[in-house]
């Protein structure tokens, strides 16, 4: 896996990342740090990537279990340390999973498997942050 990040001086503190798979992602800093608030902060992209990683796992695990999953949303909230390096110290993830006749135990298991075995991002962040999860099921 690789990624190339280029600073765009004309934007203040804007950056463009080109991923190894050929996609582009823009990031920017806060105005108090020289940015112009034109894109997500780099740490927001870490949080978003973690949410995407675990949501991907949950959907894949449920599909492989032949469950009729139709939607998966993860709301991720994090607290950071007050001093540098401002690592994440607490992360809360709330999943809203929709489908037909989804067993509560299957969703609970999929979330646990993601956080204990498959989601490299949340497992990595779990080294500095306390991660808690919750979920709700919606019949769809």
Q: Residues 6 or more apart from 117 whose CB is under 8 A from it?
A: none
Phi and psi, residue 71, nearest 5°? -165, 150
- Superfamily designation of domain 42-139: K homology (KH) domain (3.30.300.20)
From first to last of the 140 residues of the chain, give the pLDDT tens digit. Answer: 999 999 999 999 999 999 999 999 999 999 999 999 999 999 999 999 999 999 999 999 999 999 999 999 999 999 999 999 999 999 999 999 999 999 999 999 999 999 999 999 999 999 999 999 999 999 99
Q: Residues 6 or more apart from 10 whose CB is under 8 A from it?
A: none
For residue 132, which of 87, 57, 56, 78 has the smallest C-alpha distance?
A: 78
- Give the start-to-end residue ranges of the domains of the chain: 3-33, 42-139
CA distances to 28, 51, 57 from 138, in Å: 36, 19, 18
Q: Which two tokens stand for residue 21?
A: 């798979």
What span, in angstroms and rounded, lies between the C-alpha atoms of 123 and 23?
25
């Amino acid at each position: 896996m690789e990624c190339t990040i280029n600073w765009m001086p004309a934007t203040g503190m804007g950056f463009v990342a080109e991923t190894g798979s050929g996609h582009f992602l823009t990031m920017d800093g806060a105005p108090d740090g020289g940015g112009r608030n034109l894109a997500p902060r780099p740490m927001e992209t870490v949080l978003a990537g973690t949410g995407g990683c675990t949501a991907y796992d949950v959907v894949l695990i449920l599909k492989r279990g032949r469950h009729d999953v139709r939607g998966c949303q993860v709301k991720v909230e994090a607290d950071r340390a007050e001093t540098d390096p401002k690592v994440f110290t607490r992360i809360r993830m709330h999943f809203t999973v929709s489908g037909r006749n989804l067993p509560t135990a299957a969703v609970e298991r999929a979330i646990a498997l993601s956080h204990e075995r498959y989601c490299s991002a949340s497992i990595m962040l779990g080294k500095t942050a306390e991660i808690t999860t919750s979920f709700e099921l919606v019949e769809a």
